[in-house]
Amino acid sequence: MSSLDANGGAAFLAEIEQQPDALRRLLEHDAEFKRVAREAQARSATLVRMVGHGSSDNAASYGIYAFGLLPRWTALRDSITLTVYYDTGVDFRGSTVLGLSQSGRTPDVVEYVRRARRAGAFTVALTNDVSSELATEAEAVLPLAAGPERAVAATKTYTNTLAALVLLAGHAAGEGARVLEALREVATQLEALLPSLERDVASIARAFAYVGRMFVIGRGLEYATAREVALKLLETCRTAAEPLTATDLAHGPVAALDSLFPVWAIASHDAALPAVVEASARVREAGATIVASGNAAAAIDGADYVLPLPEPPLPVLAPLLSVVPGQLFASALARAKGLDPDAPRGLSKVTLAR
């Protein structure tokens, strides 16, 4: 088990704080995103197949909504197994493939992209390393530009992947300039938010030091946030946190809840909010503690802890802000538990596992 030394968790926290700068760095590459969007349009490659693992796959959950809401293209988290292991011979014509990998070295993502390109897809690598194997295999490369990420658990790469997906989707919809400007404002909002949020989260996290399991719920755009917050808690705090859509919670797992099983609800102002509010009412009936975060956190009646956030200039950008309380919570909870979030036991930064 990693033990906490004087600097334990310093990289993880620093990288959370670097997110506004990392986001601005990505936006400098706007012209490249515009070019790739035009190429996808020119080829009528409007079925978007996203592949990645861990945080990259969580970001892909957001991509479904970014492409669905902006150019109204269908995007999916594609099965890597069908193409790489089962060698199915999927018809990739009319598809844009987005290979998502921080390092650009995830073996089965690289192999998927190689095969998809041969089979007629327009292949694009989104990676921090534009000279990586993934970048070489793909026809086009979009830099995530998050800068060096030292903590094993991704933070700024996750938010920059969200930004990359929505910027690409914005250009595909002919609204790139509007999305770019709104992302700039989100960077400013993030910067203003971080100091006070860090203080508020730390005082809540201490109360969770003995929690062994949690649910994190969200719906629609914020399902990606629920997945990513749950993954941070698992990776850095050894808390068994499971992400669920608000509706799926009510379809079964609500039966597992009791007063020792808290639920974190991600609540943003959009048309899916009533589903999150209703599911939270079921949680409260079961006697479980509720943490509510997001720009509609105040809508969750009877929440035990509330972490409100500002509204972004475009509703589709809410997840770039919504994930931050969860990242800070994981950082604070790991410290409260004496764990080192920079180097969780058993993990390395580049996962070469199949």
Q: Tell me, residue by residue from 296 to 335, as one string, x for binding to a second copy by CB under 8 A and - for no binding.
A: ----------------------------------------
CA dist 99 and 57 (Å) reads 10
Q: How far is the CB of 55 from a second copy (least distance, A)?
A: 8
Distance between CA 164 and CA 298 in Å, rounded?
A: 30
Minimum separation from the CB atom of position 285 to a second copy (A): 7
Q: Does 41 bind a second copy (CB under 8 A)?
A: no
Minimum distance from residue 54 beta carbon to a second copy (Å) = 4
CB of 79 to a second copy, least distance (A): 6
Instruction: Decide: is 220 part of the binding site for a second copy (CB under 8 A).
Output: yes
- Distance, in Å, from the CA atom of 266 to the CA atom of 319, rounded to the nearest integer, reads 9
Which of 28, 35, 44, 89 is in the footprint of a second copy by CB under 8 A? 89
| Residue 64 engages a second copy in binding (rule: CB under 8 A) | yes
Query: Of these, 28, 35, 74, 185, which contacts a second copy (CB under 8 A)?
Result: 74
What distance in Å separates the CA atoms of residue 145 and residue 160, rounded to the nearest whole number?
Answer: 8
Which of positions 94-113 make contact with a second copy (CB under 8 A)?
108
Q: Least Å distance between CB 84 and a second copy?
A: 9
Q: Which of 254, 290, 291, 320 binds a second copy (CB under 8 A)?
A: 254
Largest CA distance in the chain: 55
3-state class (DSSP) for residue 218? strand
Pull the structure tokens for residue 107. 């073996």
Residue 211 binding a second copy, by CB under 8 A = no
CB 193 within 8 A of CB 324: yes
Q: How far apart are the first and last CA of the chain?
A: 24
* Residue 312 per-residue DSSP state: P
Identify the residue whose tokens are 């946030």: 225
Number of residues written out for the chain: 354
3 state SS for 162-189 = HHHHHHHHHHHCCCHHHHHHHHHHHHHH
136: number of Cβ within 10 Å: 14
**Closest CB to a second copy among 46 and 194?**
46
Q: Which two tokens stand for residue 68?
A: 């669905």
For residue 351, state whether it binds a second copy (rule: CB under 8 A): yes
Q: How far is the CB of 37 from a second copy (least distance, A)?
A: 18
Q: How many CA atoms lie within 13 A of 53 on its CB side?
A: 18
Secondary structure of residue 273 in the 3-state scheme? helix
Q: Is position 42 an interface residue for a second copy (rule: CB under 8 A)?
A: no
Question: In whole angstroms, how close is the CB of 202 to a second copy at the nearest point?
Answer: 22
Question: What is the binding site for a second copy (CB under 8 A)?
Answer: 47, 53-55, 57, 64-65, 68-69, 72, 74, 76, 78-79, 81-82, 85-91, 108, 153, 212-213, 219-220, 231, 234-236, 238-240, 242, 247-248, 250-258, 261, 270-272, 274-275, 278-279, 282, 285-286, 344-347, 351, 353-354
